[in-house]
Chain A
Amino acid sequence: AQSVTQPDIHITVSEGASLELRCNYSYGATPYLFWYVQSPGQGLQLLLKYFSGDTLVQGIKGFEAEFKRSQSSFNLRKPSVHWSDAAEYFCAVGAEYGNKLVFGAGTILRVKS
């Protein structure tokens, strides 16, 4: 069965500092991996996705993520955080096209000025 672990419940970074959010997954085959962002009281917005090919994927809002099969990880990064990035971030894994997504518990990002 698929599972996703996001080890950090809360992360606080200073505005302008770099960011890395961790995600580890469990799945027997090549996974489809996603990062979503959720602002308070809102739905989920897709930041980026990995299906195959280049293991470094670029997303919206300056985010990128790197797929490392050997570590079963798909960490999200951003070189310089803006106050508007404060939100909750979810990593998710899917099995195949259009299949269900399994989400991690989320990481709440706080940005201090």
Chain B
Amino acid sequence: DAGVTQSPTHLIKTRGQQVTLRCSPKSGHDTVSWYQQALGQGPQFIFQYYEEEERQRGNFPDRFSGHQFPNYSSELNVNALLLGDSALYLCASSWTSGGAAEQFFGPGTRLTVL
């Protein structure tokens, strides 16, 4: 049973560019959440997708957007990259329809903005 997978593993971009990160949830899971973890900090909630809709959003600007596909996989898009967007981006999946609260995390995508 594959866990949560994310691609790419590492990414280097320059300021002003756009980036797309991808996430495949754990088998049987229907909900995907995205978190940003800056160096030396705990993860910060960006948003959550369920039934292809954004269900909840954290305190992040509109430059951060996402999408969930019918197969439950998800993308995180960040436009107009800033140096401060450099971080580890974590995807987590859970099973909302099954009433399960725990979230399972992928290995993350390390984004460096130069």
Which residues of A line the B interface, CB within 8 A?
4, 32, 34, 36, 41-46, 49, 51, 90, 92, 94, 96-106
Contact = CB atoms under 8 A, between A and B. Distances in A.
A98 B94 contact: yes
Q: How large is the interface on B (under 10, 10 to 19, 20 to 34, 35 or more residues)?
A: 20 to 34
Nearest to A32: B101
A45 B105 CA distance: 7
Contacts of A90: 42-43
Given A96-B101, A99-B101, A104-B42, 7 more contacts: A41-B110, A43-B106, A46-B102, A90-B42, A90-B43, A98-B50, A98-B101
Interface of B: 4, 31, 33, 35, 41-45, 48, 50, 56, 58, 90, 92, 94-96, 99-108, 110
Contact of A42 (B56, B103, B104, B107): B107
A58 to B, nearest CB: 15
16 contacts: A41-B110, A42-B107, A42-B108, A43-B90, A43-B107, A44-B105, A45-B105, A46-B103, A49-B101, A49-B102, A98-B31, A98-B48, A98-B95, A100-B48, A101-B92, A103-B43
Contacts of B35: 101, 103
A105 B100 contact: no
A105 B48 CA distance: 21
Contacts of A99: 48, 56, 101
Contact of B42 (A41, A49, A103): A103
A102 B46 CA distance: 11
Contact of B56 (A41, A97, A100): A100
